[in-house]
Every structure is written in C-alpha cells, then in structure tokens.
Amino acid sequence: MPIRLQETMPVLEKLEQENIFVMSSAKADHQDIRQLRIAIVNIMPQKELTELQLLRLLSNSPLQVEVTFLRLVTHQYKNVTNDYLERYYKTFSEIRSKKFDGLIITGAPVENLDYEQVDYWNELSEIMEWSKQNVTSTMHLCWAAQAGLYYHYGIQKYSLNEKLSGIYRHYLTAAHSMLTRGFDDMFDAPHSRYTGIHAEDIYVTDGIDILAESNEAGPYIVSSKDGRHIFVNGHPEYDAGTLASEYWRDANKGIQPNIPKNYFRMMTRNSRQSFTGKHIPIYSFQIG
C-alpha cells in the first residue's frame, strides 16, 4: 500500500523507481481511509539515505501509511541544510498535541558520549516521555535502543573493546511473541556500534523481555511486555551496502576500522587498499 509523502520530497523519486507506491498528500486527502500514522525522529547523519531505508520497509504495510519526519531543534545538523529540514521535517512542538500509531527513533553516532552529554538529550527525553501517552508503539533503533532502555528502565550501556560491525547470527528467545511472529528461529542482522547492553541487566528488570539475541552481539530485540516500547539493538533498516560504505568512510579517515564480520568475501587488511569506495568487493551474508 502507498506511503504518503510531500510531492517534492527528493526521496519520492527514488522510491517510485523501485516500484514502491508513493501517494502525494493532496491525493491521499481525497481517500476515505484510516491511515497508519508514523512519526520518525531521524538522527542519522545521512538523512535521505535513512529516509529511503525506513520508507522501503514501511511500504510493506497493507495499510496506507502517513509518515511525519521529526527534527530536533536543540541539535545542529551538519550533513543537511536547514532549508531541507524546515521543508520536510516537523519539530516536536508542531506535533506534540497529536496522536500516532507508531514512532521510530533512529540511531545516532554518539555512543561514546554519556547520554546527558548529548546536546539534544533533554529534547529527546521529552519526546520519549510524550510517547508514553501519545504513541501506540515506539521502536528505538541501535543507539536509540540503548538510550530508550536507559531513559525508561535505567539500564546502562557499556563500552566495547572495539567497534561491533558486521552481520551476526541471532536466535529467538520468545518464539510466541506477536512481534517476532514469522521470524525464522535463527536469522542474521547487521550491527554497527561501539557500545552494548548486558542481557543480565534486562533479566533483572521488571516489565521487559529479550525476544531475540546473539551469542556474539548480545541482546537484539527487547520489548516491554505490553509492546508499547520496542528496542532493536542494531540496524535492521540497513541496505546490503551500508556497512561497506561505513567501512570505507572510516578507512578514508585513517581510523583503521576492523573489517565488518561475516560481510566481505575473501578480503584481508592487506588487500583493502586495492579497493575504493566506488568499487566495493563482493559481500556475503553467510555466517560461519
């Protein structure tokens, strides 16, 4: 079913090229239909890329989906113009009186900061508090999953010895959950982060359960028992080439990143200099 977007939004053309049904707001207003209303707090650096990734997934709904992108007024964005944000994104103050079926809060490259050191922490906390009464269900992705667990349940994150990057094998721990219905017992998913959460901290916290986890990457899907708060400690929205783009970005900065695990095929540190960001080697999602 269609995704409802502003007619001039740049991502619209890319979605139509992928044969994803996108409907303008003007046309949608003439349909007598109950829309699924989703708000997205997009904190990822590459706004249009994240928009495209999330909208692809939301288009799989059998309902008409109206998407509202939110920006944080307390944050200075570096990779997108203010004109773009003002044109296609709402502020929290503009929507706080409304109700939404769902809210998605994306990850952000701020894992190594304490939560209170993040410049928009107070504003994001206000949104998470607002979501308790105004959103049916909120999904927190990657850093936002850790931030949400901290805000709602006081669960602390911890620093990893090195960046966790790659494709990891996960298994279901709550086979009868409505949220994971249709999942395989084991499935692969991408991670890209410097911090994590301890499963033991979740086990001793009332009101939440681990629905899926990885022996290497730790808890993956955590949910409140009522399903109103969902925490996905990874990046299920990533495209097949996103980890490669991140790898080459960091390599070009001289960071010397580890090669994403279970991702590139037949590639070593010694051979990586023979490739460029425009010529990405074949990658594999096979675990083992």
Catalytic residue positions, numbered: 142, 235, 237
> How does DSSP classify residue 176?
T
Amino acid of residue 263: Y
Tell me the C-alpha to C-alpha distance, in Å, between residue 87 and each of 15, 57, 80: 19, 23, 12
* Distance from C-alpha of 222 to C-alpha of 212, rounded to nearest angstrom: 7
- Residue 234 neighbours by CB distance under 10 Å: 26
| In contact, 192 and 241? CB cutoff 8 Å | no
CA 192 – CA 243 distance, rounded (Å): 8
Distance from the Cα of residue 64 to its chain's centroid: 21
The CA radius of gyration of the chain, in Å to the nearest whole number, is: 19
Helical axes 121-134 vs 143-153, angle rounded to 10°:
70
Q: Where are the alpha helices (DSSP H) in the chain?
A: 11-17, 25-28, 47-58, 82-88, 92-95, 121-134, 143-153, 199-203, 242-252
* Dihedral angle computed from the Cα positions of residues 14, 16, 18 and 21, in that order, rounded to the nearest 10 degrees: 130
Is residue 209 within 8 A of residue 180, CB to CB? The reply is no
CB 248 within 8 A of CB 276: yes
